Amino acid sequence: MGGGVLPRGAGQFAAEAASFRPPCRDRERQRMSASVARREAIILSCEYPPFPGGTGSYAGNLVEQLRAAGVRTTAIVPDYPDLPQRPAPDTHRILRHHKIAPATALKVLRLLMASPRSAVFLAADIRSVLLASLFSRLTGRPYRVMVHGSEAIKFKRKSLMRTIVRAAYCRSEMVSTNSAATLAIFEDSFGHVPQGKVNYLGVDEAWFAPPPETFENVALAALPQDARIVVTVGRIEDRKGQLETVQLLADAQARHGVEGLVYIVAGRVESDDYADQVKAAAAAAGVRLILTGRLSDEDIRLLYKRALAHILCARPLPTKIEGFGLVLVEAGAQHCPSIASHVGGIPEVVGEDSPLLFAPEALGAMADAVAALARDPAWRAELGAAAFARARGFNWRACAEGTFPELLAPAGAGQ
């Protein structure tokens, strides 16, 4: 403890010293008192900014919230040499994206061993959870985990890997999930977890800022001002339903005579075969399609602002599920309504009573919604305002408080 231990028999010295409080002793006592509420945190994640994925956004924003609150936070995360990234103290970019090599795992273990035992340890993705579980067995260090949606349904029920994954998650001190739907899916697959709790994701304040007036992307900058933009932001893969979106837009054009539609998909290609199917379907149906790849946040914000609607036609696949849908909140921050399918955690984000929430197979009803938005700008504005108000209900501070309650007092506490 601060100040050391006095030898036996030094009673007179002890009596004199008892009334003396040097500044260093006072600082030490203040530090130890503060440590009850604010200790240290460690976040291990195989995805991290500047990579634009949901898990990376989650890990990066929690690190920011903890550090802003004065909590010393060690981030053990991937390096992205092809993307611009800013150096930060206590940020160890030693992992690879979605990969932990054996040699790197030893580096992680050394960092954990060098950290205080009291540091709260979060494993933010499935690979990190497996490593945290292994190290916990070796060192006894507790850990908590985050479930994003598909982890619990990736594995066959009687497979060895499922048994290993279940043990890794269930022996943690806290199982956070990004929605009640994700928690239900997790418990249906792995059994009830008394330490389970829902911690909704948030949206950075920057998403509410007015976007620039022009696009950086050349293809987007060439669009006429009266283009009726429909946008999907996210990886191009079957789970996101870009192929179904092409079909419903073709239906809106054919049945309702909606003109000037431009379907913009902003995100990296996850499957070349699927991207080819989307392009072929759009060409056959006469739907104008622009695949932009990754965009800057500024261009995405401007897309949302100018779009008739954002569409997330998510599909419930056997091994993949949309656990939350962060893009729905980001779109709402720019007053952009989202047409979405009733899958996973999406209803919790947009609201069960949203008039733009449909069964995933109800493509005709979604096409009707596109036509209605195109016909009625006032209704589009009304729904955009509702989306904005709902987006304001999701913030990273609340997510961080729920994940690290012993480190962060609720905002406004004690005022």
Q: Does residue 262 surpass a pLDDT of 60?
A: yes
Please report, rounded to a whole number, the percentage of residues in the chain having pLDDT higher than 90: 82
Backbone Cα Rg of the chain: 25
E strand or H helix at 229: strand 228-233
Beta bridge partners of 73: 41
Which of 17-26, 61-70, 210-219, 383-392 shows the lowest mean pLDDT across its residues? Answer: 17-26
In the chain, the amino acid numbered 209 is: A
Sign of the alpha-carbon torsion through 125, 128, 132, 134 = positive
Determine the average pLDDT of the residues in 163-173.
96
User: Tell me: domain 205-391, CATH 3.30.530.20, correct?
Assistant: no
Q: Is the peptide bond before 194 cis (omega within 30 degrees of 0)?
A: no
Q: Which residue has better confidence, 34 or 68?
A: 68
- DSSP per residue over 273-327, as a string? HHHHHHHHHHHHHT-EEEEEES--HHHHHHHHHH-SEEEE----BTTB--S--HH
Predicted local distance difference test score (pLDDT) of residue 156: 82
pLDDT tens, residue by residue, 284-294: 999 999 999 99
Q: Does residue 118 surpass a pLDDT of 80?
A: yes
User: Locate tokens 């292994």: which residue?
Assistant: 134
Predicted local distance difference test score (pLDDT) of residue 11: 35
Determine the average pLDDT of the residues in 321-333.
96
Predicted local distance difference test score (pLDDT) of residue 271: 92
- Sorted by sequence, the CB contacts under 8 Å of residue 308 that are 6+ apart come out as 228, 229, 230, 261, 370, 373, 374, 380
Single pTM value for the model: 0.86
The domain spans of the chain are 33-202+396-403, 205-391
- Sorted by sequence, the CB contacts under 8 Å of residue 196 that are 6+ apart come out as 175, 176, 177, 183, 186, 187
Predicted local distance difference test score (pLDDT) of residue 247: 98
Q: Does residue 18 surpass a pLDDT of 80?
A: no
Q: Does residue 5 surpass a pLDDT of 60?
A: no
Predicted local distance difference test score (pLDDT) of residue 304: 99
Asked if residue 120 lies in contact with residue 101, where contact means CB atoms within 8 angstroms, the answer is no
Predicted local distance difference test score (pLDDT) of residue 104: 97
Predicted local distance difference test score (pLDDT) of residue 358: 98
- Sorted by sequence, the CB contacts under 8 Å of residue 100 that are 6+ apart come out as 46, 108, 127, 128, 131
Asked if residue 170 lies in contact with residue 193, where contact means CB atoms within 8 angstroms, the answer is yes
Asked if residue 42 lies in contact with residue 122, where contact means CB atoms within 8 angstroms, the answer is yes
Q: Does residue 17 surpass a pLDDT of 70?
A: no
Determine the average pLDDT of the residues in 264-276.
96
The rounded distance, in Å, linking the Cα atoms of 332 and 246 is 22
Predicted local distance difference test score (pLDDT) of residue 411: 63
Q: Does residue 36 surpass a pLDDT of 80?
A: no
Predicted local distance difference test score (pLDDT) of residue 409: 78
Beta bridge partners of 338: 310
Q: Does residue 37 surpass a pLDDT of 80?
A: no
Q: Does residue 4 surpass a pLDDT of 60?
A: no
The rounded distance, in Å, linking the Cα atoms of 339 and 301 is 17
Q: Does residue 413 surpass a pLDDT of 90?
A: no
3-class secondary structure, 374? helix
Kindly report the CA angle at 265 between 259 and 270, in degrees rounded to 5? 150
- Sorted by sequence, the CB contacts under 8 Å of residue 375 that are 6+ apart come out as none
Asked if residue 246 lies in contact with residue 263, where contact means CB atoms within 8 angstroms, the answer is yes
Asked if residue 351 lies in contact with residue 295, where contact means CB atoms within 8 angstroms, the answer is no
The rounded distance, in Å, linking the Cα atoms of 413 and 390 is 23
Domain covering 33-202+396-403 in this structure, CATH number: 3.40.50.2000
Q: Does residue 8 surpass a pLDDT of 50?
A: no
Determine the average pLDDT of the residues in 239-254.
98
The rounded distance, in Å, linking the Cα atoms of 342 and 357 is 6
Q: How many residues are given for the chain? A: 415
Fold agreement (33-202+396-403, 205-391): yes
